[in-house]
Amino acid sequence: MKTIRTITLLMGAFVALNACTPKMTFTNSSVVPAAAGTINVKKDKNENYTLNVRVHNLAESKKLTPAKDTYLVWMKQNDNSVKKLGQLSPSGKALTATLTATAVAKPQAVFITAEDNADMLYPAGQTILTTEE
């Protein structure tokens, strides 16, 4: 009886933890077909959301056609407004890039654009990866 209760408690804790940490996956890109990645979203004790973005096989932005200066990560919020989360710089053999950002609102979608400069306030460049279908 104790074993069943312990297993039930552990399963409940596992389900609760997974509910708090949703995982979003980028859809394949026609611009950079090999690029892929995920976003883990976690709610912190202050009711903010921490987003951990990880992508791989993200070609250098200067090798795109047309060439761009940088990749920027954006978050679409409930009210359809867009917030810039930060910049990605792929490196290494796997062309991997990571970003950790905090947001007050829960993300509805996350997307990456190729931009002419990192100072952009709104997305203007080509969408490279997105979690929207």
Q: What is the domain extent for residue 72? A: 21-130
- In a domain, residue 73? The reply is yes
The set of long-range contacts for 124-129, using a CB threshold of 8 Å and a minimum separation of 24, is: 125/68, 125/72, 126/31, 126/64, 126/68, 127/29, 127/31, 128/29, 128/31, 128/32, 128/35, 128/58, 128/71, 129/26, 129/27, 129/29, 129/32, 129/35, 129/36, 129/37, 129/55, 129/58
- In a domain, residue 6? The reply is no
- In a domain, residue 12? The reply is no
Mean pLDDT of 35-49: 96
Q: Domain count for the chain, please give it.
A: 1
pLDDT of residue 29: 86
Q: What is the pTM of this model?
A: 0.82
- In a domain, residue 41? The reply is yes
pLDDT tens sequence across 71-123: 999 999 989 899 999 999 999 999 999 999 999 999 999 999 999 999 999 99
Q: What percent of the chain has pLDDT over 90?
A: 77
- In a domain, residue 3? The reply is no
- In a domain, residue 53? The reply is yes
